[in-house]
Amino acid sequence: MDIQELRQFIETSDFTPETKHKISVILAGKAVLDYDTYAGVKEVLQQELDNDFDEAGVGDLSDDPEAQALEDEYESNMEDINTKMQEDLNFVDQETKKLNEINTQVHAMSNETD
């Protein structure tokens, strides 16, 4: 998931306006979804989930099989997002290295012609 996909997901979600605003502040001016940005968004979303559980009077669900299945699914989805984000970060890193190598070669050729 890239940063634009995350923005679209949040905009179309059922999260509260307050949560959407908090996330928009975190994402403001960001071009790439880096780990710190992702962690900040994740924290805001977790706060909303915790508030929803508190408001619903939901206590400890560690012994509830349905809740455990949902938590497992959530954790799996978060792991998928982590994996995709890491792949994106690796791709950006590789492309940056390639661009730096090309830049070095261009400078070397430029210096040879001077």
- Using DSSP's 3-state secondary structure scheme, residue 108 falls into helix
Q: What is the 3-state secondary structure (H, E, C) of the chain?
A: CCHHHHHHHHHHCCCCHHHHHHHHHHHCCCCCCCHHHHHHHHHHHHHHHHHHHHHHCCCCCCCCHHHHHHHHHHHHHHHHHHHHHHHHHHHHHHHHHHHHHHHHHHHHHHHHHC
Specify the pTM. Answer: 0.51
53 CB neighbour count, 10 Å cutoff: 13
pLDDT digit of tens for each residue in the chain (114 aa)?
788 888 898 889 888 999 999 999 999 988 888 888 888 999 999 998 888 878 877 666 778 888 889 888 989 988 999 899 999 999 999 999 999 999 999 999 988 876
> What pLDDT, on a 0 to 100 scale, did the predictor assign at position 83?
92
Give the start-to-end residue ranges of the domains of the chain.
1-59, 63-114
